[in-house]
Structure 1
Amino acid sequence: MIEDSIKYQTQGDSWLKRILIGGLLLFPGVFLIIPLFTFNGYMLEVMRRVMGGDTLNPPEWGDADLADLTVDGLKHAVIVLAYTLVVLLVAGIPFFGLVLAGVGADVGGLSVLGFLIGGLVYLVGALALAVVLPVATGNFVRVDSISAAFDLDVLRTLVTNGTMLKAVVFGFVVNVLMQVVSSILGITVVGYLAVPFLVFAGQSAIFYIWAEGFSDAYEAEYGEPPLAGVGGTTTPTAATDETWGTDTDTTVEDGGFDDDDRTDDRF
């Protein structure tokens, strides 16, 4: 899974152009927030495509609607912000409560205890967020609705799924590798300029892993793919594929069953 995710953006004839455009979005993104939303929207499109079963054809910038990508990225930012605020709020209650109580009562021990408990709660919350957010993101992509990211039934079901947990761990591994390589490249000016392009490929790999984990876990738990036939390969059916119709006609001409015979045999 990790190897396939890392190679994902190197597929296709225009892979270099795709990575260059993705990396360039991060340069103005330091000063302008909109390119970051567009960048994030592209990652959601990667997730949507992989969840639909297509792991061989990364989204092309030329085929994308940048306005839609930007809006999707903004929606996802709202989801991440909401979850982050919950973690900060829960961690902040003991932190500010005990710190203020310690200051008011002039008891330094309470302030220190507030720092420790608040820090511990924040750490636990951050770890929980790292597990919940990929599931929330996957369900947001599946339904294309912000409210789906807070679907407690799906969250409870998939957060504890072994396949999804493995995907979270693999995504974390890729993120660590990306950070390490970025730090090494950042030592030189040329290397520093290459970092955004590495981040583009690395983030794409993480969303690829999340998508495969979510798709496999969802199908295992609910008995159907999250995005059956969307953006991926589908198996033609007799009702829609012209080849099947041609075969049927040939069978009749060769002396096979006609329509009435087939009807009788069915019943």
Structure 2
Amino acid sequence: MFNDSINYLKDSDDAAKTVLIGGILVIFGFLIIPALIVQGYTIRVLRRVSDGDTEAPVFSDWGKLTIDGLKAAIIVLVYSLLPAILAVVFIGGGVALMDRAPFIGGFVALLGSLLTFVVGLAVLYVVPAALVRFAEKGTMGSGFEYESLVPIVRDREYATGWLLALGILVVAGVITSAIAVVPLIGWLAAVFLGFYAQVTAAYIYARSYAEATEHRLREGPEVDDTRPAV
């Protein structure tokens, strides 16, 4: 899967054009619409790969990309609300208590930090599966169909793919941080590399999701608990 993911965009017919457009959109992402288009392109990658299409998509039907990107952003935002609320309630509440009860306030803030980290990590783990589900079904509600998502995120294939994608994003982040210090050229190279890494990770998310789905269909629901991811 690793080699396939690395070569996914590189081996497409319009690789250079796609990376160029993607990088330019990332540069102007602060205008929001370009960022939504990039997110929409990622959803298109998730949809194609989960359907078994090995050819990377191109930037076309920009209106559709923007709408899909907006829907995906809303899904991510909704999932992110839970750790955000925990942080405000527990960490913020703990800090507020410190003036009157330092020990209790500190404990509440520490507990809140731990809960926020754990829930945030869980959200980071589930969101890619939710986005693949949305890409497949086309409705925002499908990204919250937990009865369909839970068996997928518990599967070993998905967990392995998620870790691989995370590793690629971390390595890409380190590399882009290192080369971005070079004036202009290094920063531009970091932008395009970041986009390439995002597409690579999307390929892995969709592929691992599809493999987890195939595993469940092949072995049947009666063995769901025999190969948990965690």
Fold in common (TM above 0.5): yes
Match of 2:223 in 1: none
8 Å CA contact 1:99, 1:110 repeated in 2: no
Match of 1:86 in 2: 82
- What CA deviation, in whole Å up to 9, does each residue of 1:113-143 have, x standing for no partner? 1221111111101110121111111111111
CA distance in 2, matches of 1:185, 1:10: 21
Match of 2:41 in 1: 42
Of the candidates 124, 130, 134, which is equivalent to residue 128 of structure 2? 134
In the TM superposition, what is the alpha-carbon distance from 1:223 to its structure 2 partner? Answer: 5.0
8 Å CA contact 1:2, 1:174 repeated in 2: no
8 Å CA contact 2:46, 2:206 repeated in 1: yes
In the TM superposition, what is the alpha-carbon distance from 1:23 to its structure 2 partner? Answer: 0.5
In the TM superposition, what is the alpha-carbon distance from 1:77 to its structure 2 partner? Answer: 0.3
Q: How does 1:108-187 map to 2 (within 5 A)?
A: 108-187=102-181
8 Å CA contact 1:51, 1:211 repeated in 2: yes
CA distance in 1, matches of 2:109, 2:93: 10
Identity %: 33
CA distance in 1, matches of 2:161, 2:49: 14
Of the candidates 59, 67, 70, which is equivalent to residue 66 of structure 2? 70
Is 1:215 the counterpart of 2:213 in the alignment? no
In the TM superposition, what is the alpha-carbon distance from 1:20 to its structure 2 partner? Answer: 0.6
Q: What letter matches 2:47 in structure 1?
A: R
Larger Rg: 1
In the TM superposition, what is the alpha-carbon distance from 1:109 to its structure 2 partner? Answer: 1.4
SS in 2 for 1:54: coil
User: In the superposition, relative to structure 1, how do residues 134 and 13 fare at CA in structure 2: closer, same or farther (>3 Å)?
Assistant: closer
In the TM superposition, what is the alpha-carbon distance from 1:155 to its structure 2 partner? Answer: 2.0
Q: What letter matches 2:28 in structure 1?
A: P
CA distance in 2, matches of 1:8, 1:111: 50
Q: What letter matches 2:111 in structure 1?
A: I
Which stretches in structure 1 are left out of the alignment for 5+ residues?
A: 225-267
Question: TM-score normalized by structure 1?
Answer: 0.78
- What CA deviation, in whole Å up to 9, does each residue of 1:16-72 have, x standing for no partner? 111111100011112x000000001001111111111112x11122xx200000000
User: In the superposition, relative to structure 1, how do residues 140 and 13 fare at CA in structure 2: closer, same or farther (>3 Å)?
Assistant: closer
Q: What letter matches 1:124 in structure 2?
A: V
SS in 2 for 1:187: coil
CA distance in 2, matches of 1:192, 1:100: 41
8 Å CA contact 2:93, 2:109 repeated in 1: no
CA distance in 2, matches of 1:182, 1:60: 24
CA distance in 1, matches of 2:218, 2:135: 18
Greater share of residues in helix? 2
CA distance in 2, matches of 1:95, 1:18: 43
State how many pairs are aligned.
218
8 Å CA contact 1:38, 1:70 repeated in 2: yes
Question: TM-score normalized by structure 2?
Answer: 0.90
Which stretches in structure 2 are left out of the alignment for 5+ residues?
A: 220-230
Taking only aligned residues, the RMSD between alpha carbons, in angstroms, comes to 1.6
CA distance in 2, matches of 1:120, 1:36: 31
